[in-house]
């Protein structure tokens, strides 16, 4: 196991552990074993895992993002192989530690040697994991790969996993909070978007200095970097999500790297500013990032950049198209900016701070239940095969995003359309523009009410 780390610290995000190796060595089985659930598809033929899987996982006492990849290096005539190669490249783009899995029953192969060479070029800390090592000394053949001391395990049976997890935890970079001592941010704002849409330029405009590297080359930003901005009587934390490295020119790599780093930012943010390139229009990836922001619980604002390059007619057409594309999201505020000149950026920051505050919204139980009753009276829930469905009691259980638990007599009968109506009603009643509202439903009466005397 190679314990040299090029990432001794990571600022305010979860470390990423990527699992790589040739097909059918047990990568997905190890992924499931470390995760504690059967999330990855496991099969006995090469190429079963094509798409990457990523999930939060506990290694020892530290949370990480665990990434499973497709097999690499085999199947010259296999049409899936180029896609699998791309996925591994994508995983390596965001990995802090790599688990290189080999097959203890098959022994070291030329493909394993080629993968080892590839990993050495990346200069990422690597743990060489010999899977299917039920027989003694199964790992000895793999010293020839020059990847440090191999670790023998059996992912399917769990042999050696506990000791391996202890060693893996030692390899993980230290997570440090990148905020100023003694200052709790009034808002934490993630700036997201495709490469080269102007995210770093926007942050520089807010900070009034060249804090982020700005270039016309997509992917100049290499990692998510927190910045702090004095704002009225406090500070705002700004998170610029990374693009990709130089050879991330393949669209699949660009999107995957952006997605993983965006998720890391969303989990530390109250609000997300989605930067769109006005002249380029709205891409499918833009919509996926916006949906992801709300799925991860961030209030969302859209900033259309480079307005100086658009005519009024082009802007009108753009807004119409954007409204149509965002119809599945909650009401989203759209701001016009030109980050390069600073036009509109101050108003955007004010709106982003307000959105972060809305995401931390708390409501008293009395006011919450008055809303619920009014919403129910304005539009009665559809009946369940002739039986009335009644909402009885509501209680707020969390913020960021606001999460409400509603008790009713027939929760399973509430249709998706009525649940959506309640979310929209809640958002409108309490002026929560751009905030994802979480409503959950449970059967029974008010569990907090005192029991009636018999």
Are 14 and 73 part of one and the same domain?
yes
Q: Residues at the annotated binding site for GTP?
A: 21-28, 68-72, 131-134, 193-200, 240-244, 305-308
Q: Residue 379: inside a domain, yes or no?
A: yes
Q: Residues at the annotated binding site?
A: 21-28, 68-72, 131-134, 193-200, 240-244, 305-308
Q: Residue 449: inside a domain, yes or no?
A: no
pLDDT at 189 > cutoff 70: yes
What pLDDT is attached to residue 447? 56
Q: Which of 335, 359, 383 is the last residue of a domain?
A: 359
Alpha-carbon gap, residue 213 to 219, rounded angstroms: 10
What pLDDT is attached to residue 446? 57
Q: Residue 448: inside a domain, yes or no?
A: no
Are 144 and 191 part of one and the same domain?
no
Are 408 and 432 part of one and the same domain?
yes
Q: Residue 452: inside a domain, yes or no?
A: no
* Strands ordered across the beta sheet of 403-408: 391-398, 403-408, 438-443
**The domain spanning residue 238 has which CATH number?**
3.40.50.300
Are 405 and 300 part of one and the same domain?
no
Beta strands at 62-68 and 53-59: parallel, antiparallel or unpaired? antiparallel
Alpha-carbon gap, residue 134 to 150, rounded angstroms: 14
Range of 395's domain? 365-443
Least confident of 32-46, 49-63, 414-428, 440-454: 32-46
End-to-end CA distance of the chain: 67
Alpha-carbon gap, residue 412 to 63, rounded angstroms: 34
Alpha-carbon gap, residue 307 to 182, rounded angstroms: 39
- How far, CA to CA in Å, does 335 sit from each of 22, 47, 100, 215, 305? 47, 45, 45, 23, 9
Q: Residue 4: inside a domain, yes or no?
A: no
Are 119 and 240 part of one and the same domain?
no
DSSP symbols for 62-109: EEEEEEE----S--TT-TTHHHHHHHHHHHHHH-SEEEEEEETTT---
Task: Compute φ and ψ for 19, nearest 5 degrees.
Answer: -105, 120
What is the tens place of the pLDDT at every residue in 402-419? Answer: 999 999 998 888 899 999
Are 352 and 383 part of one and the same domain?
no
Are 157 and 235 part of one and the same domain?
no
Are 347 and 390 part of one and the same domain?
no
Alpha-carbon gap, residue 260 to 93, rounded angstroms: 10
At 110, is the secondary structure helix, strand, or coil? helix
Least confident of 236-245, 269-278, 314-323: 236-245
Are 206 and 244 part of one and the same domain?
yes
**The domain spanning residue 414 has which CATH number?**
3.30.300.20
Q: Which of 130, 68, 73 is nearest to 95 (CA)?
A: 68
Number of independent structural domains in the chain: 3
- How far, CA to CA in Å, does 296 sit from each of 248, 257, 264, 437? 25, 17, 10, 11
Least confident of 27-36, 106-115, 215-224: 215-224
Are 318 and 422 part of one and the same domain?
no
Alpha-carbon gap, residue 205 to 242, rounded angstroms: 18
Are 69 and 101 part of one and the same domain?
yes
The tokens of 86 are what? 């791309």
In this prediction the pTM is 0.64
What pLDDT is attached to residue 6? 45
Q: Which of 359, 375, 397 is the last residue of a domain?
A: 359
E strands present in 193-330: 225-231, 234-240, 271-277, 299-305
Give the percent of the chain with pLDDT over 90: 40
Average pLDDT value for residue range 142-155: 94
Q: Which of 126, 149, 175 is the last residue of a domain?
A: 175
Are 163 and 308 part of one and the same domain?
no
What is the tens place of the pLDDT at every residue in 267-307? Answer: 889 999 999 998 888 888 888 888 889 999 999 999 999 98
Q: Residue 3: inside a domain, yes or no?
A: no
The tokens of 416 are what? 């998706």
Q: Residue 1: inside a domain, yes or no?
A: no
Q: Residue 454: inside a domain, yes or no?
A: no
């Amino acid at each position: 196991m190679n314990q040299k780390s090029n990432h001794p610290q990571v600022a305010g995000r979860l470390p990423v552990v990527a699992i790589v190796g040739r097909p059918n060595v047990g990568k997905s089985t190890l992924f499931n074993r470390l995760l504690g659930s059967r999330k990855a598809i496991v099969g006995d033929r090469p190429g079963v895992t094509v798409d990457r899987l990523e999930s939060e996982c506990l290694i020892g006492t530290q949370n990480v993002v665990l990434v499973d990849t497709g097999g690499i290096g085999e199947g010259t005539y296999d049409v899936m192989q180029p896609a699998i190669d791309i996925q591994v490249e994508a995983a390596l783009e965001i990995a802090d530690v790599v688990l290189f899995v080999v097959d203890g029953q098959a022994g070291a192969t030329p493909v394993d040697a080629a993968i080892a060479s590839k990993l050495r070029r990346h200069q990422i800390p690597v743990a060489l994991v010999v899977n299917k090592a039920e027989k003694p000394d199964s790992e000895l053949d793999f010293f020839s790969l020059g990847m440090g001391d191999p670790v023998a395990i059996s992912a399917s049976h769990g042999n050696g996993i506990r000791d391996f997890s202890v060693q893996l935890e030692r390899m993980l970079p230290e997570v440090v909070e990148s905020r100023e001592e003694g200052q709790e941010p009034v808002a934490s704002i993630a700036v997201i978007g495709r490469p080269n849409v102007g995210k770093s330029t926007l942050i520089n405009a807010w900070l009034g200095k060249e804090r982020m590297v700005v270039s016309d080359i997509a992917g100049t930003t290499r990692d998510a970097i927190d910045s702090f901005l004095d704002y009225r009587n406090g500070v705002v934390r700004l998170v610029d999500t990374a693009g990709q490295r130089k050879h991330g020119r393949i669209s699949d790599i660009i999107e995957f790297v952006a997605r993983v780093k965006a998720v890391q930012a969303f989990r530390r943010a109250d609000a997300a500013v989605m930067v769109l390139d006005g002249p380029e229009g709205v891409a499918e990836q833009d919509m996926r990032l916006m949906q992801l922001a709300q799925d991860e619980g961030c209030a969302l604002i859209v900033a259309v950049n480079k307005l100086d390059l658009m005519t009024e007619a082009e802007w009108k057409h753009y807004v119409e198209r954007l409204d149509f594309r965002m119809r599945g999201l909650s009401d989203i505020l759209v701001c016009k900016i030109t980050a390069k000149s600073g036009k509109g950026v101050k108003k955007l920051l004010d709106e982003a701070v307000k959105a972060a505050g809305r995401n931390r919204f708390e409501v008293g139980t009395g006011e919450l239940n008055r809303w619920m009753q009014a919403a129910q009276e304005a539009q009665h829930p559809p009946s369940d095969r002739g039986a009335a469905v009644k909402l009885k009691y509501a209680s707020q259980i969390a913020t960021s995003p606001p999460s409400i638990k509603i008790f009713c007599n027939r929760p399973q009968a509430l249709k998706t359309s009525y649940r959506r109506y309640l979310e929209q009603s809640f958002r409108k009643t309490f002026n929560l523009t751009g905030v994802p509202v979480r409503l959950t439903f449970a059967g029974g009466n008010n569990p907090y009410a005192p029991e009636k005397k018999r």
